[in-house]
Structure 1
Amino acid sequence: MRRFAATDLHGCLRTFRHLVEEELHLRPADHLYLLGDYVNKGPDSAGVLDYLMQLQAAGYQVHCLRGNHEHELLATIHGEPNANGMWKLAAERQLTLTSFGVARAAAIPGRYVAWLNALPLQLELPDFVLVHAGFNFALPPAEMREDMQSMLYSKEFTYDPARLAGKRLLHGHVPTPVAEVQATVAAKAGAIDLDTGCAFRLNPELRHLAALNLDSWKLHLVENREEPYPIAVR
């Protein structure tokens, strides 16, 4: 059994499939932990969700957390106030909706909505704590692990291993240059951001999907393999 973690797929189905099938050669006994943001920005949000559900249905141990983009998509679907602010560009909104074959978020089929609704915010392993963005370590311990805002949206925090029983923290959310991620992994840092900005295919410092082997500490990198799409520069 092997354990891998990756994050921020953002609709990049071809890249993710290559990671799973050609780079990791994922086996049903392996565990793949995904830290959120499967939708928006890239070309095939629905395809990514379909593939994740197919892997799970086929018996693969694929564990998925909720990211802020899933959270905001659900809010948009349910018509909650200000939810439409999730898409910065009209082209991004159109890419996402077109992938689902709908004209508005509320028409996204229920099977996707149910899957998204069931995503947890965090996951704890014997040696790692997994979350999409991070924690507010200034909060009391019980509140820290219940603060949805920080778990989905934190962009910076001061990691405190004592608050996580000495466990390392794996997260995504903030696109980070590949070289910087490689350095934090090589140092076996206490908190590691695995988001190497896969969707930003024209940014040479980013444009990769990263997966970390949680036992060997090998960092697997796959460059963006999507056909051209309009949202490409960060």
Structure 2
Amino acid sequence: MSTLAYDGTAMLGRQLRRLRNNPGLLILTQTMPVSMLLFFGYVFGSALAMPGEDYRAFLVPGLLVATAAGGIMTGMFQAAQDTHRGVMDRFRTLPMSRAAVPLGQAGADLVVTAAGTVPFLLVGLAVGWRVEGSAWEALGAFGLLLLFRFTMTWIGIFLGLATRNEEAAGQLGGATFLLPLLSNAYIPTEGLPGWLRTVAEWNPISAVTTALRDLFGNAPVPEGAAWPVAHPIAGSLAWCAVLLVVFVPAAVRRYARGER
């Protein structure tokens, strides 16, 4: 365990230095959520039943979760890039824990996400979003958001190790933008057709988004929703637990196995 902690910390430092040397990617990942908040909040907000500040308060938790779901794309691209360029093969020759490399990547992504959430929340406050719940509930919402991002990153790492190609990972990563659209991140699901509402509410993004809105005090839990949305905190934790149990060992095995 101590070996994993030491090696994982070394890999985390390597990933952070990698991001420091690629400021363009860091700036893009920080500014994109803010741009989406301003665009969706002022364009879509004028066309929905909850205009202006009400919609922007509704939107901020959804965009936080949608951005966290982007961990699939970033995790996949970075893992595929390292695999394609032979970096993973060089790491396998070193006397280090096999779990350290993917763990370091996931940990570094978590640090960057936590730091990048701060400017987004400041912009959210500027456009009318407020924390209506208690400080403890707000901290719980932030912790749940980071847990979800950590989970999504592990899925991305596994997919990146499986694709082994930067171009394929980039194309597949683009498809992840559809996931928030099939959820309640941007619009309420109550007005959707029955089958589409069921699909949207069983999307993990919907459970986490509803949990954040409930903890922040921005919107009540909708009535008549599917179980993960009707019990959003329990549903979010259940989704994260299941996905981590599946994808963490799968990613570690995939890394250890290499091309075999």
TM-score under structure 1 normalisation?
Answer: 0.27
Q: Quick check: which one's helix share is greater?
A: 2
Q: Which has the higher contact order (CA 8 A, sep 6+)?
A: 2
Q: Quick check: which one's strand share is greater?
A: 1
Bigger CA radius of gyration: 2
